[in-house]
Structure 1
Amino acid sequence: MIRIVSDSTCDLSKEIVDKYGIVIVPLYVRLGNEEKKDGVDITPEEIYKWSNETGETPKTAAPSVSDYMSVFSDDSDDEYIVFTISASMSASNNNCRLAVEELEIEDRVKVIDSANLSTGIGLLVMEAVDQADMGKNLSEIAEYIEEVKGRVRASFVIETLTFLHRGGRCSGIAALLGNTLKLRPKIVVSDGAMRPGKKYRGSADKCIMNYVKDMEDELRKAKKDRVFITHSGCDRDKVEEVRSFLEKLGIFLDIIETRAGSVVSSHCGPGTMGVLFISES
Protein backbone atom coordinates (compact mmCIF):
# COMPACT_ATOMS: atom_id res chain seq x y z
CA MET A 1 0.00 0.00 0.00
CA ILE A 2 1.23 3.49 -0.86
CA ARG A 3 0.86 5.95 1.99
CA ILE A 4 1.00 9.68 1.37
CA VAL A 5 2.70 11.76 4.04
CA SER A 6 3.27 15.50 4.38
CA ASP A 7 4.60 17.82 7.01
CA SER A 8 2.00 20.17 8.45
CA THR A 9 2.95 23.14 6.29
CA CYS A 10 0.86 21.71 3.43
CA ASP A 11 -2.12 23.47 5.10
CA LEU A 12 -4.67 20.88 3.99
CA SER A 13 -7.91 20.81 5.95
CA LYS A 14 -8.77 18.01 8.37
CA GLU A 15 -11.61 17.02 6.06
CA ILE A 16 -9.23 16.49 3.14
CA VAL A 17 -6.63 14.74 5.29
CA ASP A 18 -9.22 12.36 6.74
CA LYS A 19 -10.94 11.69 3.42
CA TYR A 20 -7.76 10.61 1.65
CA GLY A 21 -5.88 9.09 4.58
CA ILE A 22 -3.01 11.56 4.35
CA VAL A 23 -0.52 11.32 7.22
CA ILE A 24 0.51 14.71 8.65
CA VAL A 25 3.77 15.21 10.54
CA PRO A 26 3.53 18.46 12.55
CA LEU A 27 6.23 21.10 12.76
CA TYR A 28 6.82 22.86 16.06
CA VAL A 29 5.91 26.39 17.07
CA ARG A 30 7.76 27.91 20.03
CA LEU A 31 6.12 30.73 21.96
CA GLY A 32 8.86 31.77 24.34
CA ASN A 33 9.55 28.68 26.46
CA GLU A 34 6.44 26.83 25.30
CA GLU A 35 6.64 24.38 22.42
CA LYS A 36 3.48 23.47 20.52
CA LYS A 37 2.71 21.22 17.59
CA ASP A 38 1.38 22.89 14.46
CA GLY A 39 -2.25 21.94 13.90
CA VAL A 40 -2.39 19.91 17.11
CA ASP A 41 -2.30 22.16 20.17
CA ILE A 42 -1.88 25.70 18.82
CA THR A 43 -4.06 27.87 16.59
CA PRO A 44 -3.15 30.89 14.44
CA GLU A 45 -5.41 33.07 16.61
CA GLU A 46 -3.41 32.14 19.71
CA ILE A 47 -0.23 33.01 17.84
CA TYR A 48 -1.55 36.43 16.79
CA LYS A 49 -2.56 37.17 20.39
CA TRP A 50 0.83 36.10 21.77
CA SER A 51 2.73 38.00 19.09
CA ASN A 52 0.76 41.21 19.66
CA GLU A 53 1.26 40.96 23.42
CA THR A 54 5.01 40.30 23.23
CA GLY A 55 5.95 42.08 20.02
CA GLU A 56 7.70 38.90 18.90
CA THR A 57 7.16 36.23 16.27
CA PRO A 58 7.21 32.59 17.38
CA LYS A 59 10.13 30.41 16.39
CA THR A 60 9.33 27.39 14.26
CA ALA A 61 11.16 24.08 14.06
CA ALA A 62 11.10 21.04 11.81
CA PRO A 63 9.87 17.61 12.85
CA SER A 64 12.77 15.65 14.34
CA VAL A 65 14.35 12.57 12.83
CA SER A 66 12.57 10.46 15.47
CA ASP A 67 9.25 12.14 14.60
CA TYR A 68 9.65 10.90 11.04
CA MET A 69 10.88 7.47 12.11
CA SER A 70 7.66 6.98 14.07
CA VAL A 71 5.62 7.46 10.89
CA PHE A 72 7.11 4.55 8.99
CA SER A 73 5.63 1.12 9.62
CA ASP A 74 7.63 -2.07 10.01
CA ASP A 75 5.23 -3.62 7.50
CA SER A 76 7.39 -4.13 4.43
CA ASP A 77 4.32 -3.98 2.19
CA ASP A 78 3.83 -0.28 2.91
CA GLU A 79 5.50 2.30 0.69
CA TYR A 80 5.62 6.04 1.34
CA ILE A 81 5.82 9.25 -0.61
CA VAL A 82 6.65 12.11 1.75
CA PHE A 83 6.26 15.81 1.03
CA THR A 84 8.09 18.53 2.93
CA ILE A 85 8.26 22.29 2.92
CA SER A 86 11.05 23.68 0.73
CA ALA A 87 14.43 22.41 1.92
CA SER A 88 15.74 25.97 1.75
CA MET A 89 13.20 27.02 4.39
CA SER A 90 13.36 24.18 6.90
CA ALA A 91 15.26 21.08 8.02
CA SER A 92 12.09 19.02 7.57
CA ASN A 93 13.26 17.46 4.31
CA ASN A 94 16.72 16.63 5.62
CA ASN A 95 15.38 15.13 8.84
CA CYS A 96 13.01 12.92 6.89
CA ARG A 97 15.85 11.68 4.69
CA LEU A 98 17.95 10.94 7.77
CA ALA A 99 15.07 8.93 9.25
CA VAL A 100 14.77 6.89 6.07
CA GLU A 101 18.52 6.21 6.07
CA GLU A 102 18.48 5.28 9.75
CA LEU A 103 15.72 2.74 9.15
CA GLU A 104 17.35 1.54 5.91
CA ILE A 105 14.07 1.77 3.97
CA GLU A 106 15.25 3.80 0.97
CA ASP A 107 13.73 1.16 -1.32
CA ARG A 108 10.18 1.95 -0.22
CA VAL A 109 10.23 5.67 0.60
CA LYS A 110 10.40 8.64 -1.76
CA VAL A 111 11.06 12.00 -0.08
CA ILE A 112 9.93 15.01 -2.10
CA ASP A 113 11.35 18.48 -1.58
CA SER A 114 8.27 20.45 -2.62
CA ALA A 115 10.34 23.62 -3.18
CA ASN A 116 7.19 25.29 -1.87
CA LEU A 117 5.05 26.01 1.16
CA SER A 118 1.41 26.00 2.27
CA THR A 119 -1.01 24.65 -0.34
CA GLY A 120 1.76 24.90 -2.90
CA ILE A 121 2.69 21.65 -1.15
CA GLY A 122 -0.97 20.69 -0.81
CA LEU A 123 -1.41 20.78 -4.57
CA LEU A 124 1.40 18.24 -4.97
CA VAL A 125 -0.04 16.05 -2.23
CA MET A 126 -3.38 15.98 -4.04
CA GLU A 127 -1.65 15.15 -7.33
CA ALA A 128 -0.06 12.17 -5.56
CA VAL A 129 -3.48 11.11 -4.29
CA ASP A 130 -4.79 11.21 -7.85
CA GLN A 131 -1.85 9.22 -9.18
CA ALA A 132 -2.22 6.56 -6.47
CA ASP A 133 -5.93 6.27 -7.25
CA MET A 134 -4.96 5.64 -10.87
CA GLY A 135 -2.88 2.67 -9.77
CA LYS A 136 0.55 4.20 -10.36
CA ASN A 137 3.43 2.69 -8.43
CA LEU A 138 5.70 4.58 -6.04
CA SER A 139 8.43 5.35 -8.58
CA GLU A 140 5.90 6.49 -11.17
CA ILE A 141 4.22 8.83 -8.69
CA ALA A 142 7.54 10.32 -7.53
CA GLU A 143 8.68 10.81 -11.14
CA TYR A 144 5.42 12.55 -12.01
CA ILE A 145 5.61 14.82 -8.96
CA GLU A 146 9.18 15.85 -9.78
CA GLU A 147 7.99 16.81 -13.24
CA VAL A 148 4.94 18.77 -12.13
CA LYS A 149 6.30 20.58 -9.06
CA GLY A 150 7.96 23.26 -11.17
CA ARG A 151 4.52 24.19 -12.49
CA VAL A 152 3.04 24.99 -9.08
CA ARG A 153 2.05 28.65 -8.92
CA ALA A 154 2.04 29.79 -5.31
CA SER A 155 1.64 33.39 -4.24
CA PHE A 156 -0.21 35.45 -1.67
CA VAL A 157 -0.88 39.03 -0.64
CA ILE A 158 0.16 40.23 2.82
CA GLU A 159 -2.29 42.51 4.62
CA THR A 160 0.17 43.78 7.22
CA LEU A 161 3.97 43.89 7.20
CA THR A 162 4.11 43.81 11.00
CA PHE A 163 4.61 40.05 11.29
CA LEU A 164 7.26 39.92 8.58
CA HIS A 165 9.09 42.66 10.47
CA ARG A 166 8.85 40.82 13.78
CA GLY A 167 10.25 37.73 12.11
CA GLY A 168 13.20 39.64 10.68
CA ARG A 169 12.02 39.42 7.07
CA CYS A 170 11.26 43.12 6.70
CA SER A 171 12.93 46.23 8.14
CA GLY A 172 11.12 48.35 10.69
CA ILE A 173 11.13 51.35 8.36
CA ALA A 174 9.74 49.32 5.46
CA ALA A 175 7.03 47.87 7.70
CA LEU A 176 6.08 51.29 9.05
CA LEU A 177 5.94 52.88 5.61
CA GLY A 178 4.12 49.92 4.13
CA ASN A 179 1.45 49.89 6.82
CA THR A 180 1.08 53.68 6.74
CA LEU A 181 0.75 53.80 2.95
CA LYS A 182 -1.45 50.69 2.91
CA LEU A 183 0.98 48.78 0.72
CA ARG A 184 0.09 45.09 0.36
CA PRO A 185 2.99 43.18 -1.22
CA LYS A 186 2.54 40.07 -3.31
CA ILE A 187 4.88 37.30 -2.20
CA VAL A 188 5.74 34.68 -4.82
CA VAL A 189 7.29 31.29 -4.12
CA SER A 190 9.95 30.66 -6.75
CA ASP A 191 12.81 28.14 -6.80
CA GLY A 192 12.03 27.14 -3.24
CA ALA A 193 12.18 30.65 -1.79
CA MET A 194 9.80 33.52 -1.08
CA ARG A 195 10.38 36.55 -3.28
CA PRO A 196 8.66 39.96 -3.37
CA GLY A 197 6.38 40.66 -6.29
CA LYS A 198 4.04 43.48 -7.18
CA LYS A 199 3.03 45.93 -4.45
CA TYR A 200 -0.67 46.71 -4.24
CA ARG A 201 -1.98 49.82 -2.54
CA GLY A 202 -5.32 50.52 -0.94
CA SER A 203 -7.82 48.61 1.15
CA ALA A 204 -7.22 44.93 1.77
CA ASP A 205 -10.37 43.98 -0.19
CA LYS A 206 -9.36 46.03 -3.21
CA CYS A 207 -5.78 44.74 -3.19
CA ILE A 208 -6.79 41.10 -2.96
CA MET A 209 -9.20 41.37 -5.87
CA ASN A 210 -6.67 43.24 -7.97
CA TYR A 211 -4.15 40.50 -7.19
CA VAL A 212 -6.58 37.78 -8.27
CA LYS A 213 -7.66 39.62 -11.41
CA ASP A 214 -4.02 40.16 -12.38
CA MET A 215 -3.65 36.36 -12.47
CA GLU A 216 -6.55 35.78 -14.88
CA ASP A 217 -4.35 34.92 -17.87
CA GLU A 218 -2.33 32.48 -15.76
CA LEU A 219 -5.47 30.97 -14.26
CA ARG A 220 -6.85 30.29 -17.73
CA LYS A 221 -3.75 28.18 -18.41
CA ALA A 222 -4.05 26.20 -15.18
CA LYS A 223 -4.77 22.49 -14.69
CA LYS A 224 -8.50 22.25 -14.29
CA ASP A 225 -8.54 19.75 -11.42
CA ARG A 226 -8.39 22.20 -8.54
CA VAL A 227 -7.40 25.60 -7.22
CA PHE A 228 -6.82 26.59 -3.60
CA ILE A 229 -7.93 29.74 -1.85
CA THR A 230 -5.71 29.76 1.22
CA HIS A 231 -5.84 32.45 3.87
CA SER A 232 -4.66 33.18 7.40
CA GLY A 233 -7.98 34.49 8.66
CA CYS A 234 -9.92 36.71 6.25
CA ASP A 235 -13.45 38.04 6.33
CA ARG A 236 -15.98 35.61 4.90
CA ASP A 237 -17.22 38.10 2.30
CA LYS A 238 -13.66 38.60 1.05
CA VAL A 239 -13.18 34.87 0.59
CA GLU A 240 -16.53 34.52 -1.16
CA GLU A 241 -15.71 37.37 -3.54
CA VAL A 242 -12.55 35.55 -4.61
CA ARG A 243 -14.45 32.28 -4.93
CA SER A 244 -17.12 33.99 -7.06
CA PHE A 245 -14.46 35.36 -9.41
CA LEU A 246 -12.90 31.92 -9.82
CA GLU A 247 -16.29 30.31 -10.40
CA LYS A 248 -17.14 32.80 -13.13
CA LEU A 249 -13.95 31.89 -14.98
CA GLY A 250 -15.48 28.44 -15.47
CA ILE A 251 -12.09 26.72 -15.37
CA PHE A 252 -11.75 24.67 -12.21
CA LEU A 253 -13.56 21.49 -11.28
CA ASP A 254 -12.87 22.10 -7.60
CA ILE A 255 -12.31 25.37 -5.72
CA ILE A 256 -10.96 24.53 -2.27
CA GLU A 257 -10.73 26.92 0.65
CA THR A 258 -8.19 26.21 3.39
CA ARG A 259 -6.86 28.05 6.42
CA ALA A 260 -3.11 28.52 6.69
CA GLY A 261 -1.71 26.63 9.66
CA SER A 262 0.21 27.99 12.61
CA VAL A 263 3.66 27.87 11.01
CA VAL A 264 2.70 29.83 7.90
CA SER A 265 0.40 32.19 9.83
CA SER A 266 3.10 33.03 12.37
CA HIS A 267 5.23 34.53 9.61
CA CYS A 268 2.62 36.20 7.41
CA GLY A 269 0.12 37.41 10.02
CA PRO A 270 -3.67 37.70 9.74
CA GLY A 271 -5.48 38.76 6.60
CA THR A 272 -3.08 37.10 4.17
CA MET A 273 -4.67 35.40 1.16
CA GLY A 274 -3.36 33.42 -1.78
CA VAL A 275 -4.72 31.66 -4.85
CA LEU A 276 -2.61 28.63 -5.68
CA PHE A 277 -2.78 26.29 -8.67
CA ILE A 278 -0.75 24.22 -11.11
CA SER A 279 -0.05 25.46 -14.61
CA GLU A 280 -0.71 23.12 -17.55
CA SER A 281 2.72 23.87 -18.97
Structure 2
Amino acid sequence: MIKIVTDSSADLPNELLEKYKITVVPMNVSIEGVDYREGVDITPKEFFKKMFASAELPRTSQPSPAVFGEAYSKFPVNSEILCLTISSGLSGTYQSAIIAKGLTKNKVTVFDTLAGSLGHGIQIIKAAELAESGHSMEEIVAILTKYRENMNIFILLDTLENIVKGGRLSKFQGSLAKLLNIKVLLQRGDGGTVETLEKIRGKKKSQKRLMEIIKDSKKDFSETIFGITHTGNLEEAEALKNEIIALFHPKEVILNYMGATMGTYAGRRGMIISYA
Protein backbone atom coordinates (compact mmCIF):
# COMPACT_ATOMS: atom_id res chain seq x y z
CA MET A 1 0.00 0.00 0.00
CA ILE A 2 1.07 3.59 -0.63
CA LYS A 3 2.86 5.18 2.35
CA ILE A 4 1.94 8.70 3.47
CA VAL A 5 4.52 11.27 4.60
CA THR A 6 3.87 14.88 5.60
CA ASP A 7 5.30 17.76 7.59
CA SER A 8 4.15 18.74 11.06
CA SER A 9 2.36 21.91 9.94
CA ALA A 10 -0.70 19.78 9.08
CA ASP A 11 -1.77 19.97 12.76
CA LEU A 12 -3.43 16.55 12.76
CA PRO A 13 -4.24 15.02 16.17
CA ASN A 14 -1.95 12.14 17.17
CA GLU A 15 -4.81 9.63 17.09
CA LEU A 16 -5.37 10.31 13.39
CA LEU A 17 -1.65 10.14 12.61
CA GLU A 18 -1.56 6.74 14.29
CA LYS A 19 -4.83 5.55 12.72
CA TYR A 20 -3.59 6.21 9.19
CA LYS A 21 0.08 5.36 9.93
CA ILE A 22 1.27 8.78 8.72
CA THR A 23 4.97 9.62 8.97
CA VAL A 24 5.56 13.20 10.12
CA VAL A 25 8.66 15.27 9.35
CA PRO A 26 9.01 18.06 11.95
CA MET A 27 9.14 21.72 10.99
CA ASN A 28 11.71 23.90 12.74
CA VAL A 29 10.99 26.86 14.99
CA SER A 30 13.34 29.25 16.79
CA ILE A 31 12.27 31.28 19.82
CA GLU A 32 14.71 33.84 21.21
CA GLY A 33 17.63 32.04 19.62
CA VAL A 34 16.69 28.54 20.79
CA ASP A 35 15.89 26.00 18.06
CA TYR A 36 13.17 23.36 18.36
CA ARG A 37 11.68 20.64 16.18
CA GLU A 38 7.93 20.98 16.18
CA GLY A 39 6.24 18.10 17.97
CA VAL A 40 9.59 16.59 18.97
CA ASP A 41 11.37 19.12 21.19
CA ILE A 42 8.37 21.33 21.91
CA THR A 43 4.61 20.81 22.22
CA PRO A 44 2.04 23.33 20.96
CA LYS A 45 1.20 24.35 24.55
CA GLU A 46 4.87 24.97 25.32
CA PHE A 47 5.33 26.86 22.06
CA PHE A 48 2.45 29.27 22.67
CA LYS A 49 3.55 29.89 26.27
CA LYS A 50 7.01 30.87 25.03
CA MET A 51 5.68 32.86 22.06
CA PHE A 52 3.26 34.94 24.14
CA ALA A 53 6.04 35.71 26.63
CA SER A 54 8.51 36.78 23.96
CA ALA A 55 8.93 40.30 22.58
CA GLU A 56 10.16 38.80 19.33
CA LEU A 57 8.22 36.81 16.76
CA PRO A 58 9.31 33.16 16.52
CA ARG A 59 11.05 32.12 13.30
CA THR A 60 9.91 29.00 11.51
CA SER A 61 11.80 27.13 8.79
CA GLN A 62 11.29 24.09 6.61
CA PRO A 63 12.86 20.68 7.25
CA SER A 64 16.03 20.04 5.26
CA PRO A 65 16.04 17.67 2.27
CA ALA A 66 18.16 15.30 4.37
CA VAL A 67 15.43 14.98 7.00
CA PHE A 68 12.84 14.24 4.31
CA GLY A 69 15.29 11.76 2.76
CA GLU A 70 15.55 9.90 6.08
CA ALA A 71 11.76 9.72 6.29
CA TYR A 72 11.49 8.36 2.73
CA SER A 73 14.23 5.79 3.30
CA LYS A 74 12.78 4.29 6.46
CA PHE A 75 10.40 2.27 4.30
CA PRO A 76 11.45 -0.92 2.46
CA VAL A 77 13.20 -0.41 -0.88
CA ASN A 78 10.82 0.12 -3.83
CA SER A 79 8.05 1.44 -1.58
CA GLU A 80 5.63 3.91 -3.13
CA ILE A 81 5.38 7.11 -1.08
CA LEU A 82 3.08 10.11 -1.28
CA CYS A 83 4.37 13.19 0.53
CA LEU A 84 1.89 16.02 1.12
CA THR A 85 3.38 19.36 2.16
CA ILE A 86 2.28 22.74 3.45
CA SER A 87 1.57 25.28 0.70
CA SER A 88 4.59 26.30 -1.36
CA GLY A 89 3.15 29.81 -1.06
CA LEU A 90 3.84 29.78 2.67
CA SER A 91 7.01 27.72 3.06
CA GLY A 92 9.96 26.18 1.23
CA THR A 93 8.99 22.74 2.56
CA TYR A 94 7.65 21.58 -0.80
CA GLN A 95 11.03 22.22 -2.43
CA SER A 96 12.87 20.35 0.35
CA ALA A 97 10.55 17.39 -0.15
CA ILE A 98 11.17 17.47 -3.91
CA ILE A 99 14.97 17.64 -3.56
CA ALA A 100 14.88 14.72 -1.11
CA LYS A 101 13.50 12.41 -3.80
CA GLY A 102 17.09 12.07 -4.99
CA LEU A 103 18.18 10.76 -1.59
CA THR A 104 16.14 7.56 -1.61
CA LYS A 105 15.63 4.50 -3.78
CA ASN A 106 11.91 4.58 -3.11
CA LYS A 107 9.42 6.05 -5.56
CA VAL A 108 8.21 9.37 -4.14
CA THR A 109 5.42 11.65 -5.35
CA VAL A 110 5.27 15.09 -3.69
CA PHE A 111 1.94 16.91 -3.57
CA ASP A 112 1.61 20.62 -2.74
CA THR A 113 -1.60 21.00 -0.71
CA LEU A 114 -1.62 24.79 -1.24
CA ALA A 115 -2.88 24.90 2.37
CA GLY A 116 -1.77 25.12 5.96
CA SER A 117 -2.92 23.69 9.30
CA LEU A 118 -5.94 21.36 8.96
CA GLY A 119 -6.60 22.58 5.42
CA HIS A 120 -3.43 20.62 4.77
CA GLY A 121 -4.35 17.90 7.28
CA ILE A 122 -7.78 17.15 5.81
CA GLN A 123 -6.13 16.49 2.45
CA ILE A 124 -3.81 13.99 4.15
CA ILE A 125 -6.79 12.14 5.59
CA LYS A 126 -8.36 12.06 2.12
CA ALA A 127 -5.14 10.66 0.64
CA ALA A 128 -4.79 8.03 3.37
CA GLU A 129 -8.38 6.84 2.90
CA LEU A 130 -7.89 6.59 -0.85
CA ALA A 131 -4.67 4.65 -0.36
CA GLU A 132 -6.37 2.26 2.08
CA SER A 133 -9.15 1.61 -0.45
CA GLY A 134 -6.59 0.55 -3.06
CA HIS A 135 -6.42 3.56 -5.38
CA SER A 136 -3.28 4.02 -7.46
CA MET A 137 -0.94 6.98 -7.03
CA GLU A 138 -2.24 8.53 -10.27
CA GLU A 139 -5.84 8.19 -9.10
CA ILE A 140 -5.09 9.66 -5.68
CA VAL A 141 -3.27 12.68 -7.12
CA ALA A 142 -6.08 13.32 -9.59
CA ILE A 143 -8.74 13.19 -6.85
CA LEU A 144 -6.64 15.31 -4.47
CA THR A 145 -6.09 17.95 -7.15
CA LYS A 146 -9.85 18.47 -7.49
CA TYR A 147 -10.34 18.28 -3.72
CA ARG A 148 -7.61 20.91 -3.21
CA GLU A 149 -9.42 23.34 -5.51
CA ASN A 150 -12.47 23.25 -3.22
CA MET A 151 -10.52 23.75 0.00
CA ASN A 152 -11.67 26.76 2.01
CA ILE A 153 -9.42 28.20 4.72
CA PHE A 154 -10.32 31.11 6.98
CA ILE A 155 -8.16 32.62 9.73
CA LEU A 156 -9.80 34.59 12.52
CA LEU A 157 -7.33 37.03 14.10
CA ASP A 158 -8.37 38.23 17.56
CA THR A 159 -5.28 40.42 17.93
CA LEU A 160 -2.79 41.98 15.52
CA GLU A 161 0.05 41.65 18.04
CA ASN A 162 2.05 39.19 15.95
CA ILE A 163 1.44 41.15 12.77
CA VAL A 164 3.02 44.15 14.51
CA LYS A 165 5.91 42.04 15.84
CA GLY A 166 6.53 40.75 12.33
CA GLY A 167 6.79 44.31 10.99
CA ARG A 168 3.75 44.04 8.69
CA LEU A 169 1.88 46.66 10.70
CA SER A 170 3.11 49.64 12.75
CA LYS A 171 2.62 49.77 16.52
CA PHE A 172 0.32 52.76 16.02
CA GLN A 173 -1.86 50.83 13.55
CA GLY A 174 -1.91 47.85 15.90
CA SER A 175 -2.92 50.04 18.86
CA LEU A 176 -5.64 51.72 16.80
CA ALA A 177 -7.06 48.35 15.74
CA LYS A 178 -7.09 47.25 19.40
CA LEU A 179 -8.80 50.48 20.47
CA LEU A 180 -11.48 50.09 17.78
CA ASN A 181 -11.86 46.33 18.52
CA ILE A 182 -11.00 45.45 14.92
CA LYS A 183 -10.89 41.73 14.10
CA VAL A 184 -9.32 40.58 10.85
CA LEU A 185 -10.65 37.68 8.77
CA LEU A 186 -8.09 36.17 6.42
CA GLN A 187 -8.57 33.58 3.70
CA ARG A 188 -6.50 31.36 1.44
CA GLY A 189 -5.31 33.39 -1.53
CA ASP A 190 -4.03 32.50 -4.98
CA GLY A 191 -1.15 30.03 -4.97
CA GLY A 192 -1.87 28.95 -1.41
CA THR A 193 -0.92 32.28 0.15
CA VAL A 194 -2.85 34.19 2.82
CA GLU A 195 -4.80 37.37 2.10
CA THR A 196 -7.13 39.69 4.00
CA LEU A 197 -10.82 39.05 3.38
CA GLU A 198 -12.53 41.49 5.73
CA LYS A 199 -11.93 43.72 8.75
CA ILE A 200 -14.80 43.63 11.24
CA ARG A 201 -15.47 45.40 14.54
CA GLY A 202 -16.04 42.91 17.35
CA LYS A 203 -15.42 39.18 17.78
CA LYS A 204 -19.09 38.16 17.73
CA LYS A 205 -19.66 40.03 14.48
CA SER A 206 -16.56 38.48 12.89
CA GLN A 207 -17.64 34.95 13.80
CA LYS A 208 -21.19 35.62 12.64
CA ARG A 209 -19.82 36.88 9.33
CA LEU A 210 -17.73 33.74 8.97
CA MET A 211 -20.81 31.54 9.44
CA GLU A 212 -22.55 33.52 6.68
CA ILE A 213 -19.62 32.98 4.32
CA ILE A 214 -19.56 29.24 5.04
CA LYS A 215 -23.32 28.97 4.53
CA ASP A 216 -23.07 30.66 1.13
CA SER A 217 -20.17 28.46 -0.03
CA LYS A 218 -22.14 25.22 -0.55
CA LYS A 219 -25.57 23.69 0.03
CA ASP A 220 -24.79 20.23 1.42
CA PHE A 221 -22.22 19.69 4.21
CA SER A 222 -23.17 16.08 5.02
CA GLU A 223 -19.91 14.70 3.57
CA THR A 224 -17.77 17.65 4.66
CA ILE A 225 -14.93 17.43 7.18
CA PHE A 226 -14.25 20.68 9.02
CA GLY A 227 -10.96 21.38 10.74
CA ILE A 228 -10.59 23.92 13.54
CA THR A 229 -7.24 24.78 15.10
CA HIS A 230 -6.59 27.24 17.92
CA THR A 231 -3.69 28.82 19.80
CA GLY A 232 -4.76 27.78 23.29
CA ASN A 233 -8.29 29.23 23.31
CA LEU A 234 -9.93 25.80 23.51
CA GLU A 235 -13.28 26.96 24.88
CA GLU A 236 -13.77 29.40 22.00
CA ALA A 237 -12.78 26.72 19.49
CA GLU A 238 -15.19 24.21 21.03
CA ALA A 239 -18.00 26.79 20.92
CA LEU A 240 -17.27 27.39 17.24
CA LYS A 241 -17.24 23.63 16.62
CA ASN A 242 -20.66 23.26 18.27
CA GLU A 243 -22.04 26.13 16.18
CA ILE A 244 -20.76 24.56 12.96
CA ILE A 245 -22.32 21.22 13.90
CA ALA A 246 -25.66 22.87 14.73
CA LEU A 247 -25.76 24.96 11.55
CA PHE A 248 -24.28 22.65 8.93
CA HIS A 249 -24.45 19.04 10.24
CA PRO A 250 -21.08 18.04 8.73
CA LYS A 251 -19.62 14.55 8.52
CA GLU A 252 -16.95 15.41 11.09
CA VAL A 253 -15.26 18.31 12.86
CA ILE A 254 -11.60 17.86 13.82
CA LEU A 255 -10.40 20.10 16.65
CA ASN A 256 -6.74 20.53 17.57
CA TYR A 257 -4.02 22.91 18.63
CA MET A 258 -2.45 24.97 15.90
CA GLY A 259 1.24 24.27 15.37
CA ALA A 260 4.09 26.76 15.36
CA THR A 261 4.07 27.35 11.60
CA MET A 262 0.58 28.83 11.36
CA GLY A 263 0.36 29.80 15.03
CA THR A 264 3.13 32.32 14.57
CA TYR A 265 0.88 34.22 12.16
CA ALA A 266 -2.44 33.67 13.98
CA GLY A 267 -1.28 34.93 17.37
CA ARG A 268 -3.12 34.97 20.68
CA ARG A 269 -6.68 33.54 20.51
CA GLY A 270 -6.40 32.96 16.77
CA MET A 271 -8.36 30.24 15.01
CA ILE A 272 -8.19 28.59 11.60
CA ILE A 273 -11.28 27.00 10.03
CA SER A 274 -10.79 24.68 7.05
CA TYR A 275 -13.12 22.55 4.94
CA ALA A 276 -13.70 21.36 1.37
Distance 1:21 1:220 in 2: 33
Distance 1:142 1:213 in 2: 32
1:162 paired residue number: 161
- Gaps in structure 2 of 5+ consecutive residues: none
Distance 2:271 2:132 in 1: 30
After TM superposition, the structure 1 stretch with the greater mean CA deviation from structure 2, 49-58 or 83-92, is 49-58
SS at 1:256 equivalent: strand
- Report the Cα offset of residue 77 of structure 1: 4.0
- Gaps in structure 1 of 5+ consecutive residues: none
- Report the Cα offset of residue 153 of structure 1: 0.3
SS at 2:269 equivalent: coil
Please say if 1:75 is aligned against 2:67.
no
Task: Determine if contact 2:7/2:86 at 8 Å carries over to the other structure.
Answer: yes
- Report the Cα offset of residue 274 of structure 1: 2.5
Distance 2:39 2:211 in 1: 28
Instruction: Pick one of 249, 252, 263 that aligns with 2:250.
Output: 252
Identity of aligned residues (%): 26
1:115-136 CA-to-partner distances (Å, cap 9, x unmatched) read 1111110111111012112210
- Report the Cα offset of residue 235 of structure 1: 4.2
Task: Determine if contact 1:86/1:193 at 8 Å carries over to the other structure.
Answer: yes
Distance 1:9 1:60 in 2: 10
SS at 1:170 equivalent: coil
The aligned runs of 1:1-281 (5 Å cut-off) are: 1-73=1-73, 75-103=76-104, 105=106, 108-191=107-190, 192-202=192-202, 204-218=203-217, 220-222=219-221, 224-236=223-235, 238-278=236-276
1:188-233 CA-to-partner distances (Å, cap 9, x unmatched) read 012211000111211x355334423442222535571411122222
After TM superposition, the structure 1 stretch with the greater mean CA deviation from structure 2, 153-162 or 223-232, is 223-232
Cα 1:223/1:155, change in 2 over 3 Å:
farther
Distance 2:80 2:241 in 1: 36
1:86-130 CA-to-partner distances (Å, cap 9, x unmatched) read 11221111011111024364xx21101111111110111111012
- Report the Cα offset of residue 45 of structure 1: 4.0
- Matched AA of 1:159: D
Cα 1:241/1:210, change in 2 over 3 Å:
farther
- Matched AA of 2:40: V
Cα 1:223/1:88, change in 2 over 3 Å:
farther
- Report the Cα offset of residue 32 of structure 1: 2.6
Distance 1:225 1:235 in 2: 22
Cα 1:239/1:82, change in 2 over 3 Å:
same
The count of residues paired between Structure 1 and Structure 2 equals 274
Task: Determine if contact 1:185/1:200 at 8 Å carries over to the other structure.
Answer: yes
- Matched AA of 1:181: L
Q: Provide the aligned C-alpha RMSD in A.
A: 2.0
Distance 1:126 1:81 in 2: 12
1:34-70 CA-to-partner distances (Å, cap 9, x unmatched) read 1101122223444444344441101111000110010
Distance 1:268 1:80 in 2: 32
Task: Determine if contact 1:227/1:275 at 8 Å carries over to the other structure.
Answer: yes
Moved over 4 A (4+): none
TM-score computed with the length of structure 1 as normaliser: 0.90
Distance 2:226 2:51 in 1: 31
- Report the Cα offset of residue 277 of structure 1: 0.5
Task: Determine if contact 2:28/2:37 at 8 Å carries over to the other structure.
Answer: yes
SS at 1:187 equivalent: strand
Distance 1:95 1:216 in 2: 37
